Amino acid sequence: MMEVIVQSPFAEIAALLVLAAVVGFLGIILRQPLIVSFIAVGLIAGPSALDLVRSDEQISLLSELGIAVLLFLVGIKLDVKLIRSLGAVSLLTGLGQVAFTSVFGYLIGLALGLGHITSLYVAVALTFSSTIIIVKLLSDKREIDSLHGQIALGFLIVQDLVVVLAMIVLSAIGIGAADGGHGGGSVPMVLASGVAMVALVVVFVRYVANPLTERLAHAPELLVIFAIAMAAMFAAAGDIVGLGKEVGGLLAGVALASTPYRETIAARLAPLRDFLLLFFFIALGSALDLSLLGAHVSGAIVFSLFVLIGNPLIVLAIMGAMGYRKRTGFLAGLTVAQISEFSLIFVAMGVSLGHVQEDALGLVTMVGLVTIAASTYMITYSHQLYAVFEPLLGVFERKGTPREPSEAGAHREDGHKVIIFGLGRFGTAIGLRLQKRGIKVLGVDFNPLAIRRWRELGLETEFGDATDPEFVAELPLARAEWIVSTVPLHPTGLSHEDTRTTLIQLTRTSGFRGRVAVASHHPKDTEELFASGADMVLEPFQDAADRAVDLLCGAPEEERTEIPSIETEEKQAS
């Protein structure tokens, strides 16, 4: 049976899909992150187990296309103004993490008895963090649009660029060699190519993007094909000039981010992204040779702890020094607590050139397995981890946190009657109507775009997380009569924390004596929320139906309140 499968690429892909479905289903039953399940599929299908993966070129092609589409979808919803404001922290954090990991990784390698060249290879390999895995996890948790998600994306891009340039420099001085998949050339050539690609994007956005997509939108299927072609073309161009597929795919998304059809494109490409990324994880798992893992167990443990603990700490320290809150730094720091698939490629390149021995590849492979698996859980349960370590993190926060996009303390004594958590369409509609009735409202959200919209509408806001005990305790709860939560519940299969019940508990323990109203879309949730201490449960569909019946029965119509949409809402609506 196995021989029949491996003789046909189609049968091989079919077997891999069945295996992924079975292992993924078992992972969901065991409440394991889907990424861990997919990497396990690669290990099971790889040479160390079933040895199913024979069509390496086809799987690699699907994997690379998935990477291009993933970064394209990130680029298409980037907020340029927000990226500008986060440029400094992204640059300093990215460079700081690369420098810290390289220097101390090299010293740890020497302390463990590795040679100078081997230590250098391992240290450089440890600077890679997997942008693909991190973006996927943050997207699943709906945190890619949060402040820490945007900062993490920024310094990961900086890190990728620095690593590419480092590989070129190592190649030039004869210590390493640039991998064929990442192009090649001198540092000035790569920089010039990057500037040229950015200039091309600017010209495309200004003169071509809108009229072209408007014509293509008459045939939606053609618009989707064009978007995929853009992602693949820019990714290929980035790869050829040495910037990498990730940067190329990101620029392709930015090129279409200003068009009115970006939400439609993003919604239609999301399922394709998830399908193609399956092959990325299969390729990653099947490339790991488990027979090489036993040579440096103790060294792998030391390096894994260094990556899992040291990398987040340096990010936390840099962001704290720049004036960000310890919570933001902690959540962003967890995203660099792993090494990347390119770490294995880099060391394998050194093996092929004769610079290092195969046991070095085994060492980095084990570090990769440990850190990718562990950091997946760390990012998945980041808020629970913060609650555990929060008492120890005070040293990483400056007084006043001047860089947070909020006006901390500005509204503490204003006597707000209602505090609304969740500034989406429903929360914003409630806030505007309360304001029209002369009721002072304070809005709270963890999405910088939602915060900006409220401020543009003339409403007062605080940037923060409803599950952060310290933040909730600092809110002006004493004079508030109502706490209203319109935060949506997004079950992802990764974690099962209900922000609404957490908020009820935190406000009560912080001394709030008023009433709490929460939004619910399911009857079962309504019963549980009342049991958790909610005084009122808002059911948008039921309430809208009641209002519709009133209008049909002759109730006077009220003036409509227009609410400008933000990117994440437009994507969901499409």
Q: Check whether 492 has a pLDDT greater than 50.
A: no
Supply 359's token pair. Answer: 């046991």
Architecture of domain 418-573: 3-Layer(aba) Sandwich (3.40)
pLDDT at residue 247, as a whole number: 75
Phi, psi of 423 (to 5 degrees): -105, 45
- 169: pLDDT strictly greater than 60: no
Domain borders along the chain are 2-396, 418-573
Q: Looking at residue 413, what is its pLDDT?
A: 47
Confidence band, pLDDT 50/70/90 cuts, at residue 517: very high
The pLDDT assigned to 303 comes to 92
**Residues 243 and 190 sit within 8 Å (Cβ to Cβ):** yes
Tens digit of pLDDT for each residue in 436-478? 888 999 998 877 788 888 888 888 888 777 777 767 877 888 8
Query: Cα(128)–Cα(372) distance, rounded to whole angstroms?
Result: 12
Tens of pLDDT, residue by residue over 126-139, are: 888 877 778 777 77
Helix (H) or strand (E) holding 59, with range, is helix 56-76
pLDDT the model gives residue 80: 56
Say how many C-beta atoms besides its own lie within 10 A of residue 212's C-beta. 15
- Which of 333, 398, 327, 341 has the alpha carbon at shortest distance from 369? 341
CA dist., res. 339 & res. 370, Å (int): 9
**Mean pLDDT of all residues in 29-40:** 72
Euclidean distance between CA atoms 414 and 81, whole angstroms: 30
- Structure confidence at residue 408 (pLDDT): 43
Question: Which token pair is 566?
Answer: 């933000």
**Mean pLDDT value of segment 348-375:** 77
**Closest to 158 (Cα-Cα) out of 85, 243, 240:** 243
To 5 degrees, how large is the angle CA 418–CA 422–CA 426? 85
For residue 273, give the H/E element and its range: helix 262-286
Q: Which two tokens stand for residue 40?
A: 């396990």
Number of helices and strands (H, E) in the chain?
Answer: 27, 6
Alpha helices by DSSP H, listed for 77-218, are: 80-85, 87-111, 116-126, 131-140, 147-173, 187-203, 209-216
Mean pLDDT of 262-283: 79
SS (H, E, C) 285-307: HHCCCHHHCCCCHHHHHHHHHHH
Q: Which residue has better confidence, 415 or 85?
A: 415
Q: Which two three-digit tokens encode residue 299?
A: 């060294």
Give the strand pairing for 441-445 and 515-519: unpaired
Question: What does CATH list as the number for 2-396?
Answer: 1.20.1530.20
Look at residues 55, 32, 67 and name the one whose alpha carbon lies nearest to residue 274. Answer: 67
CA dihedral 528→532→534→536, nearest 10 degrees, is 20
Predicted local confidence at residue 466, as pLDDT: 79
Burial class for 272, CB neighbours closer than 10 Å (0-12, 13-18, 19+): middle
Top-ranked range on mean pLDDT: pick from 171-175, 271-275, 422-426, 563-567: 422-426
Cα separation of 464 and 466, whole Å?
7
* Mean pLDDT of all residues belonging to the chain: 78
Residue 335 region, left (φ>0) first, then alpha (ψ -120 to 50), else beta?
A: alpha
Mean pLDDT computed over 194-217? 86
Measured at the CA of 185, the angle between CA 351 and CA 365, to 5 degrees, comes to 25
Length of the chain (residues)? 574
Q: How far is CA 451 from the centre of its chain?
A: 19
Could you read off the pLDDT of 47-88 as tens digits, one per residue?
777 777 777 788 888 888 887 887 788 777 665 555 555 567
Q: What pLDDT shows up at residue 482?
A: 92
**CA–CA separation, 27 vs 30, rounded Å?**
5
Which letter does DSSP use for residue 537 in this model? E
Q: Minimal CA–CA distance to 240: which of 248, 252, 231, 228?
A: 248
Residue 304 is encoded by which pair of tokens? 């894994």
Q: Which residue has the tokens 């030039």?
A: 172
Task: Quickly state the pLDDT bin for 494 (edges 50, 70, 90).
Answer: very low
Q: Is the pLDDT of residue 107 over 90?
A: yes
Helices of type H across 287-357: 297-305, 311-321, 326-333, 341-352
- pTM to 2 decimal places: 0.60
